[in-house]
Amino acid sequence: MFDSCLRRYYFHYYLSWGGWERQAPRIAREAFRLKRLISLPLWRGQLVHYITTKVLASMRAKGRIPSFEDVSRYTLERFETQLEFSSSKRYLTEPKKKGGRLNIDWLALFEHEYDRPIPPEKLQKTKDECLTAMKGLLESDILAAIAETDPDGWAIENIDLAEFAQVFDFDGAKVFAKTDFMYRDSDGSFNIVDWKTFSAKNRPQESAGGQDGKARVQLGVYGYYAASILGEPLERIRLLEVNLLDGGATIRYSISNENLEEFYRHIRGGIDKLSSVLINSDISRNEAALSDLFPKIDNGLCRYCNFYRICRDENNPDRLP
């Protein structure tokens, strides 16, 4: 977001801050409402990640991989319930989190908020891909391998609590890592798994695996966390990118001392970059510098941007200059 449109980044992370409070300025409340909109591909990813945690929790409780029949029934149930929630705009009146727990069926689709029609074939494709991803998971070699390990060594992302499981201090900055799943294998290896829901055929080039891919860097940061914070020996850490839409095809990355330095530099560079738009680059104050740093751009993204209404919509007299 920072690289594609700084203004969007500003709306998302700064303008919207506090927008959940009734007495917050109107523009903050509007930005908060808009920041939570998601696209169909993001919804697919969110739903698949959630049901994957449920599959793992069920395996831990029952000691076996659930049937595709049960998982697909549950997936379709969530899909339809969430779709109805969003299309009836219940996201405007119902809280996403209550009593510390997430309402897992809470959904606000971009199209519903902006009253844009969703072509039925696009919806069907999203639904089919959710089912394909779940089938990919259930039939994958990695799930079979996980089933053979001791569940006491599993760390399943707790989506219901909507909290970051891993927070660590990095040169005085707070870094949040959001691993999907970690497990200890019988050979003592420490495995960090990231579930992907883009097929290799159609996912964005820059997020693809390979030496310069984003997935490698993302997993590398988790590897840094495992080595530097949890104290796992490097030779025991395995980083696994699992592509659920490709039948659970898994790309494995290892981590060496050299990589560790690279990922250190990556995190350091990220903190420097994000703090460059703060007043005095002060991360403890964490206040965005004013306007000039967050210009409007024109790269074709605007029409699909969550913040279109407050940024570019000529019919909106309240849009920001």
Closest to 243 (Cα-Cα) out of 202, 187, 191, 183: 202
Q: How far apart, in whole angstroms, are the C-alpha atoms of residue 248 and residue 146?
A: 13
Judged by the rule CB under 6 A, the positions of this chain that interact with ligand SF4 are 5, 7-8, 11, 296-297, 301-302, 305, 307-308, 311-312
**Is the Cβ of residue 144 or residue 301 nearer to ligand SF4 in the bound state?**
301
Q: Check: CB of residue 136 under 8 Å from CB of residue 245.
A: yes
Could you tell me the smallest distance in angstroms from the CB atom of residue 14 to ligand SF4?
12
Q: How far is the CB of 106 from ligand SF4 (least distance, A)?
A: 23
- Percentages helix, strand, coil for the chain (3-state, rounded to 5) are 50, 15, 35
Residue type, 156: I
Least distance CB 123 / ligand SF4 (angstroms): 24
Is the CB of 8 or the CB of 203 nearer to ligand SF4?
Answer: 8
Q: CB nearer to ligand SF4: give 32 or 181.
A: 32
Q: How far is the CB of 297 from ligand SF4 (least distance, A)?
A: 5
Strand partners, 177: 166
Task: Kindly report the backbone phi and psi dihedral angles of residue 175, in degrees, each rounded to the nearest multiple of 5, phi listed first.
Answer: -115, 130
d(CA 89, CA 107): 9
Maximum distance among all alpha carbons in the chain? Answer: 63
By the 10 Å C-beta count (0-12 exposed, 13-18 middle, 19+ buried), 157 is classed as buried
Based on CB atoms, which residue is closest to ligand SF4, 273 or 296?
296
Nearer Cβ to ligand SF4 (181/294): 294
Shortest distance (Å) from residue 113 CB to ligand SF4: 14
Q: Which of 3/212 has CB closer to ligand SF4?
A: 3
Owner of token pair 């009253």? 115
With beta carbons less than 8 A apart as the criterion, state whether 207 and 214 touch: yes
Query: Taking the complex as a whole, how short is the minimal distance between the CB of residue 18 and ligand SF4, in angstroms?
Result: 19
